[in-house]
Chain A
């Protein structure tokens, strides 16, 4: 492609979403990835599009809008990525006080909630351990197949006049007088006045190539996948400590299990959170903890066979908020990265924020909490 209006680096779900939203705004977009589509963290993600696990604040506002944009994206691209408003059920075994307070606050900020007593909880999830007394139902929680989504979205971008070049690693970001002019890749140079860094866990490296700085680091997670079974789990079900873990800054291992059934009939159990750099090794103790938590939620899963376990590296920033916006020092360099364990859910919302900012039009929310400038003095 000669002279694109914008280059998006990264063909994960975040890059794909930005590419589509810019294309729909009239830009000629070139997407570049060092691997194939979905070859980064998106290929290891679970596909949860959650509002239930977010505290009221900018991330929740983004998540709510993003969740609706997922369904708009489906109307635009086609029903090709298994999007489903499955609903989430958050349960409490003993003290449900913190969960109920959170749910009420979320409800004040636009989240649809339904508080569940023992009877209504076990009607929704008949195989849940009877010891769970109460819970909250979040009908907006949804899911998709993220790898298929990224692939179909990029395919649509190409059909609408964009281009995608795979196996092209970006080695330099070309900057002249404080503004980007293009990129150097293993498949040649490309120039454009707008460059979007959507390289997830690797976004810090890319920022550095432009002489800038983003403190993004990996947070490892494991997911278990079972054999196909009878339908035992009807929603996304998790214990309320999950929310505390997601928000935690603790480097140590945390496991709190989200259990769900998939269309293929398998059960997904995720996910641990650990900050151990890019150490890819398997830790069986984590798998055991995830299995123990899943079977304590659903004792019926004890006899279900585990077939696979895989891991990925979530991109996270020190304050656990995504980085969305123009670089603090380099003009024309935009970032949409660092979405940690919520990049699938937050991808279309982040794309809308970036496109609105590039066009200088008003957006659905004030995105300053996500500004890259907030890190000027912070490092990991």
Chain B
């Protein structure tokens, strides 16, 4: 579990106390900033909960829960510039909402109406990657392009502790280091890769591995939204100014199962879950807001009402998602439909129409 030691950056403790000394110089902590972060976290959690319910009602084929990882996702995404390009893994729902991706666009993949429903250009947020760590290399390549363009935007690659074992993740870290690519690798270490604990993924801290590759690496308390925010912002600014690529390991916890298909009770004990429930990232910010008197009951009620509204919208829009057309898949397989593909599509369409 994360702590406030020198190794792991923490700005707000579990009781909501802000370490002003550590925060000084890193960021100006204002009520407005913290209220915004809190709202994003609450809405993200409510959305996740609604999606879970929709899966249980048969409206989604599968759902990968993000419960517990709200601080890591909100803190990092909110610290980035709008034109910084994010390459998510597949559990970055809260991050996606922060980028403006709509609930419908997020649920489409899990309902089975598309393999990726949003426009990455519009949100500067790439579609999900389901094969672990593949996106870390895409992010490095994109960052090479950013460098060619002489842009000062930064690329942000999300992956998990399980993905860190993949060859692609290690190729990406190495590649980024030797090319000085403008990229931040953001590892949400949530402790578990489905049922395999992080202790079976690596023998040395991931931060040390990243440092070994030549990256500037830090560890943060991933359940502390301000620590994640501060670490991400300072790293992004350093890279914007021409610094070496960076690596942030956010220690967090997946409070649900990996997906709606597994049963976490089979592989982890209740004590561990209870410890992390006491380290709830949303609750910590609520305590901070109250302690500082940065928010009154009206504020909390408004956020709660907004969350319910989001849930209702999510429910309605999910059920209204249009069914996909196989013809569209034919048409989008290649940029320009080949003669062979066109013949096959027309054959399919003619056959299908013959039943009308």
Q: Are both chains from one complex?
A: no
B: residues with CB less than 8 A from A are none
A: residues with CB less than 8 A from B are none
